[in-house]
Amino acid sequence: MPTDEDRLPLTPILPWQRPPTTRGRNGRWLPGVCGNKKGRPTNRERAARHAAMPPTDSYAKLQRIAAYEGLSPRLLNMIASAVFGKFWKAQVARELMLHHQTIRRWGRGERQIPLWIERHLLALLLSRARKTHFLVRTAYRRAEAAHRAKQELAQMPRFKPLSRPHPPRTEF
């Protein structure tokens, strides 16, 4: 017998039967919903707010950066000898077109390296290090490939083992 279920009025969903809302009108999490107990902003919101704020301590930060005392003689010796080798002072003097005694004074710490020369010096050392790094990396890769190839060759049999074309006879 047919029923009139499709003609019945819809029952409204009462407010206490709805699932709880998780965000408010402004899009923020509501307190106590979805594990966000206090309604704190997300990391993305905090980062956006921080980026929008004017820098308050930029002057102090610039002062701290500008207080750079320069390259220490010990660090200069370590970097330059790693890049150029034993006779680095003459090579650096040649590259920067300065007198070799000036470079020696920098290496001993008798004179302070001017900042603009220090920048040129570090750029020179960096470009040289990149070139040598590239060469060393290429040579290492070749040596590593040769080592792997030798290991694979050693594992391969040098001759094809002899095998019978059919199973051995057991009855004579």
Using one digit for the tens of pLDDT, what is the confidence trace for 30-71?
Answer: 776 666 666 677 788 888 887 887 666 666 667 777 788 888
Q: What are phi and psi of 117, to 5 degrees?
A: -75, -35
Q: Burial level of 129, CB count in 10 A (0-12/13-18/19+)?
A: middle
Residue extents of the structural domains in the chain? 73-152
Structure tokens that stand for 146 in this block: 């040769």
Q: What's residue 108's pLDDT?
A: 94
The percent helix, strand, coil of the chain (3-state, each to 5) is 55, 0, 40
Best-predicted range by mean pLDDT (20-24, 86-90, 154-158): 86-90
**pLDDT grade, residue 92 (50/70/90)?**
very high
Q: Nearest-5° angle of CA 163, CA 164, CA 170?
A: 130
Tell whether the model's pLDDT for residue 3 goes beyond 90. Answer: no
Tell whether the model's pLDDT for residue 169 goes beyond 90. Answer: no
